[in-house]
Amino acid sequence: MGQSLAVDQIRQFDAVKLFEERARAALADWKLDGNISGVVEICTRLDGIPLAIELAAAKLRLMTVEQIAAHLVGTFHMLTGGSRTALARHQTMRACIDWSYNLLSPAESALLRQLSVFSGGWTLEAVEFIGNTDTIPSVSPPNVSPEFVLDIFAQLIDRSLVMGQHRGQEMRYRLLDNIRQYAHEKLVEAGEEQAACHRHLAYFLDLAVRAEGQLRGREQVLWHEIMKAELDNLQIALAWAVRTDPQIEMRIASALFWFWRAGGGRWQYEGMQWLERGLAADTANSRKAAQRNPGRALIRGWALDVATWLQLSLLNHEFGWTLYRTESERQAARTRITQYLEEALALFQNLGKPGRRGHAYALLLKTWFNPQHRKELLDHAFAILQEEGDKFYMAECLIFLAWNALDAKDFNQARMYYQQQIDLRNECGDLEGLGFAHLLYGEYEIIQNHFSNAKALLQEALRHYQSTGIYKDYIFRSFQLLAAVAIGQSDFEGALEYSSLMLAISRETGEDWQYALGLLTKGEVLMHSDFNQASLLLNEATTLFIFSGSRSGMVISLDRQANLAFAMTKFRRAARLLSSSVHHWVTEKHVFENYELSRQEILRSAIQSALGEQVFARAWAEGESMTLEQAVAYALEEMN
């Protein structure tokens, strides 16, 4: 009874509980009774360190508890010269991992070293790739033959050196940080790091190329999840490729175009940085070689195209407001884009038929800087894509054609383009594209004051985006436009709900710019019921943009402050604020969304009617003369 009570009491200690749990995982019929003194000795010698205890318990397939305890005494004696009191916790851990490593077979230790190049985990497929000598025979891991690699891998799991966990319907595996660090040290000592990193790079190049066509298709949600899970490994592979083979780095980074694009501003910025590093690391000699080698030219050309799109997107994205804070920074970005496009067009033209798709996409991007020939460039690009049968990029081209029609006030033509792109996206099964098509079409209907149509289109956009669970930026944008529709329909309760959803998304993503825009929208709704609360919200948003250094955010805040001043019948103030917003939006060289431009025109006409031509002209000129800093300070002044 006393012995039973003692066992029950000792079993309550966390270290003993863990040993018992791992022991039963190793040997199903193992019992703590009869082994209690040995287990207590093991846990004591290991200072209760969880990882060390797990590794020790895993040895029960090979040894008894007493043998493990005795082996620990010998191991630690060699490490510390016999002084147990000198044994610090990190020495205990090191000794335990040393012990586990030294018990491995040559094949097991070789595979463990190779696994240390992974970051954030890996799949069974990745392990199989490591052992596949047919894939990359020149860098086959030593002592590991492909037919035995999974058996060896299973043994590493049994020894608690590799951890497994379910992620969705697939198992992912990882090394604990201490073991990964130890294994990587052994990898370097063995002179195997370069070969292992090349194998790692080869696998993730293959994965990225396979993903490229899937990130926009019917399986895009699955593939976005796969690539998101592998982001740490992709970063490791890209960093290695920049140093060793920039062509491979550019191939991976451009293959991930739709992955970067889906992740919003931060991921787009990361993708752009990787591409710019690869393009810069691709030396002048390599670029000359690319002109003679069609394969290399194609890789560099697409890298230039994707880098251009990401840079353009950031210049016109709210996240980019904090990246390009001054006109000189934006001008430097535009100059870089122009250089990228010129080089891409030259490469694709020299390639002939293999470069036609890349050439067409470069023409699309060129329209941002060539408004005089925009329609001509777009028609040329669309004809190429139509000949190539590329429905994805035909739909992208139709977006540009719709925007061009809106600029020309050809609203019927714009509507036709929007409908055509929806049809193409349906044919491709492109969920993100369908969401984007309905989003843009809905924005167009807001401009036309067709609020019922706009609401239906935007709700459809939201349905597509939410079904993927990926595109948080576009879900946020859908809520923002639905709030605008609700305001247009005088549904202020609905608008308030949408503004709250915007704020909820911003808390989920942690994006300050989204939070500030959510405050602006909520303030705009409250203009119709509570001027004081509206003013507080607009001021808070404006202050957030000031602290973040977002000049574009400050500009859009001026627009909302002008709306509030107008609602409060402060017409001169409204004229000055709107004038300053319009003026600085032009000088900052950002592009207002089309529906924003239509709002400005309506507000300007209303203010002009309220003040009369002469008073309005003076107030407008006063607003134009303000610096952005002066205008923001004026906006934050209390209205008497």
pLDDT digits (tens, 9 = 90+) for 530-563: 999 999 999 999 999 998 878 888 988 999 999 9
**Looking at the domain assignment, is residue 475 inside a domain?**
yes
**Looking at the domain assignment, is residue 256 inside a domain?**
no
For residue 2, CA distances in Å to 7, 9, 10 come to 9, 11, 12
Single out the residue of 505, 507, 508, 480 nearest to residue 495, CA to CA.
480
- Mean pLDDT to the nearest integer, 266-278: 95
**DSSP secondary structure of 101-124:** HHTS-HHHHHHHHHHTT-SS-B-H
Which of 191, 214, 244 corresponds to the end of one domain? 244
Answer yes or no: do 134 and 212 share one domain. yes
**Looking at the domain assignment, is residue 286 inside a domain?**
no
Report which of residues 226 and 322 the model is more confident about. 226
Count: domains in the chain: 4
The helix/strand/coil state of 131 is coil
pLDDT digits (tens, 9 = 90+) for 564-584: 999 999 999 999 999 999 988
**Looking at the domain assignment, is residue 115 inside a domain?**
yes
Answer yes or no: do 509 and 565 share one domain. no
Answer yes or no: do 238 and 108 share one domain. yes
Please state, in angstroms and rounded to a whole number, the distance separating the CA atoms of residues 306 and 560: 34
Structure token digits, residue 182: 């130890």
Residue-averaged pLDDT of the chain: 86
Please state, in angstroms and rounded to a whole number, the distance separating the CA atoms of residues 143 and 130: 12
Answer yes or no: do 118 and 137 share one domain. yes
**Looking at the domain assignment, is residue 381 inside a domain?**
no
Residue labelled with tokens 């009869």: 34
Answer yes or no: do 572 and 619 share one domain. yes
Report which of residues 11 and 556 the model is more confident about. 556
Answer yes or no: do 482 and 522 share one domain. yes
Please state, in angstroms and rounded to a whole number, the distance separating the CA atoms of residues 302 and 543: 40
Q: What is the pTM of this model?
A: 0.80
Please state, in angstroms and rounded to a whole number, the distance separating the CA atoms of residues 544 and 563: 19
Domain that holds residue 503: 430-529
Residue 480 has pLDDT above 90, yes or no: yes
Instruction: Specify the CATH number for the domain of residue 240.
Output: 1.10.10
Which of 209, 244, 279 corresponds to the end of one domain? 244
* Lowest mean pLDDT, pick from 117-126, 157-166, 223-232, 355-364: 157-166
Residue 147's pLDDT band (boundaries 50, 70, 90)? low
**Looking at the domain assignment, is residue 328 inside a domain?**
no
pLDDT digits (tens, 9 = 90+) for 410-461: 889 989 999 999 999 988 888 888 898 999 899 889 888 899 999 999 999 9
Answer yes or no: do 150 and 233 share one domain. yes
**Looking at the domain assignment, is residue 501 inside a domain?**
yes
Instruction: Specify the CATH number for the domain of residue 518.
Output: 1.25.40.10
pLDDT digits (tens, 9 = 90+) for 20-50: 888 888 788 888 888 888 899 888 877 677 7
Answer yes or no: do 51 and 154 share one domain. no
Answer yes or no: do 112 and 170 share one domain. yes
Report which of residues 289 and 270 the model is more confident about. 270
Residue 1 has pLDDT above 70, yes or no: no
Answer yes or no: do 113 and 91 share one domain. no
Which of 216, 244, 272 corresponds to the end of one domain? 244
Answer yes or no: do 500 and 517 share one domain. yes
* Lowest mean pLDDT, pick from 138-147, 294-303, 618-627: 138-147
Answer yes or no: do 459 and 580 share one domain. no
**Looking at the domain assignment, is residue 332 inside a domain?**
no
